Structure 1
Amino acid sequence: MRIGAHLREDTDPLATANELGIDVFQMFVTDPQGWKKPAPRPDAEAIRDSQFDVVVHSSYQINVASLNNRLRMPSRKAVEQQATAAAELGAFGLVVHGGHLRDGEDAKEGFANWRKLFDRQVDKGGFGVPILIENTAGGDHAMARTLEAIDRLWESVGDFEQAGFCLDTCHAWAGGEDLVGLVERVKGITGRIDLVHLNNSRDEFDSGRDRHANLADGHIDPAVLAEVAKAADAPVILETPADGIPADLSYLRDAL
């Protein structure tokens, strides 16, 4: 099992990864709060040729499910551009949040927009890397908060080879999903888990709030988190507060 961390705004991710002694790291390829096209990285070849596995997290404002053309269209373009940049780093995927609709909008149209994301890219030869759809924590109109929603989403995109899944434990907890046996229930829907974001939660079960905690500091039993990592049999990324990541890594290595 390959274990690592998200390296936030890191100008030298290879040095940080070496310092932490991790196997895999997650990074951004552009400002996560903006719409700028990713710029070429001078260390792209070094990252691509390194011993580390790499995954890229897309920018946060992307919402390909949206019924608003002024949000959905730039979101589609951003996914394409960031997947291309991820491929240049040799990444194994681009993590994209499931997105959400506004009050009163039909979820069926949101799921259809997810299908269109993949459908329209087929004519361009696909994305640079697989798109790993991540479950989200809150919102009554979220596309991937509950297992029921993930089931409907997978009915729309599951037949595309480049559609993958990223399971976030904090998001699942905050979204009201029991973590015990969750891996089996998710795989029963998607057939796969390509990546685990292993995070504890600062908030109580079904809070709808996405606030990560270090493994030993939140409301989730750390032993349950370790069991999720074992069962998923996928690369594990910690998105926990940076100061506690060394302790999180140590706990996880011992638990596994």
Structure 2
Amino acid sequence: CEEYGFSPDHILPHDSYLINLGHPEEEGLKKSRSAFFDEMKRCEQLGLNRLNFHPGSHLNQMSIDDCLDRIAESINLSLERTDGVTAVIENTAGQGTNLGHTFEQIARIIDKVEDKNRVGVCLDTAHTLASGYEIRTREGFENTFRQFDEIIGFSYLKGMHINDSKKELASRVDRHDSLGKGLMNMEVFSLIMSDNRFDNIPLILETPDESLWAEEIKLLYSLITHHL
């Protein structure tokens, strides 16, 4: 971080996609909890203060609410054994049995986490659209983030993943695309870049074509107009 001039507040590592903190089976849950703790501990050792993760899946073997509560319990277990690292729940597209695709589901997890100072949320733009939240117009954008603030609260927003989407609104399919090449429009990215509610949090590109990243970063900076 020091070599490239980044503060730890602007670094948002992602845990393994194989981890399922809501796993319905005891063996799978035990392995996932152990792996998640290892990831949290690694962040602590590296001086990083947040870890992004997908909440989990019920695999059609338990109720949604029971799975959400199990996810919160898994978070609590790792928070008890680590210091200074915030568990950052990423919203999902809702593909398959993945949970965390509604603000209400994320809010339930947060409600069950004991240390509210060490839990947060990362919003992925592609997941947000695919899960059913219209963010491509100013009206839809403002309505979506009004809901986010009312249901979860902006104080919990600890990062964003900036991606276009290959799939349509409410498709419940997670497919990222390069900026300007998918079914988003550039207005949503302009709104994000020009809104001071998103200042001083990590904005992470997860677009598929690495050769375009430098160009996409320049594009995002060019979209800054004024603070709303």
TM-score (norm 2): 0.82
| 1:246–1:220 distance in 2 versus 1, CA, 3 Å | same
8 Å CA contact 1:174–1:209 kept in 2: the answer is yes
Larger proportion of helix:
2
Query: Does structure 1 residue 252 correspond to structure 2 residue 220?
Result: yes
Following TM superposition, by how much is the alpha carbon of 1:63 offset from its aligned partner in structure 2, in angstroms?
0.8
- The residue that corresponds to 2:176 in the other structure is 212
Q: Match for residue 185 of structure 1?
A: 147
Structure 1 partner of 2:203: 236
Q: How does 1:46-57 map to 2 (within 5 A)?
A: 47=1, 50-53=4-7, 54-57=11-14
* Deviation, structure 1 residue 73: 1.3
Query: 1:31 matched to which residue of 2?
Result: none
Deviation larger for 193-202 or 103-112? 103-112
Give 2:165's aligned amino acid: S
The CA distance in 1 between the partners of 2:16 and 2:218, in whole Å, is 29
> d(CA) in 2 for partners of 1:110 and 1:206?
22
Unaligned segments of structure 1, at least 5 residues: 1-46
User: How does 1:145-156 map onto structure 2 within 5 Å?
Assistant: 145-156=101-112
Matched-pair contact (CA < 8 Å) for 1:199–1:213: yes
Contact residue 114 and residue 157 of structure 1 kept, 8 A: no
Shift in Å, 1:122: 5.1
Determine whether 1:199 maps to 2:153: no
* Structure 1 consecutive aligned stretches of length 4 or more whose deviation exceeds 3 Å: 47-50
* Counterpart position of 1:137: 93
Change over 3 Å in CA distance of 1:183–1:204 after alignment to 2:
same
**Cα RMSD between the aligned structures?**
2.1
- Residue 31 of structure 2 corresponds to residue 70 of structure 1: no
CA distance in 1, matches of 2:213, 2:114: 33
Shift of 1:151: 2.9
1:48 shift after superposition: 5.7
Number of equivalenced pairs: 209
Unaligned runs of 5+ in 2: 136-140
Deviations along 1:93-136, one digit per CA (max 9) or x if unpaired, are 11010211122521121122122123334543x35511110001
TM-score normalised by length of structure 1: 0.74
**Pairwise CA distance, 1:158:** 7.2
TM-superposed deviation, 1:202: 1.1
What's the CA shift string for 1:159-196, capped at 9, x where partnerless?
Answer: 53211110101011111112212233223222221001
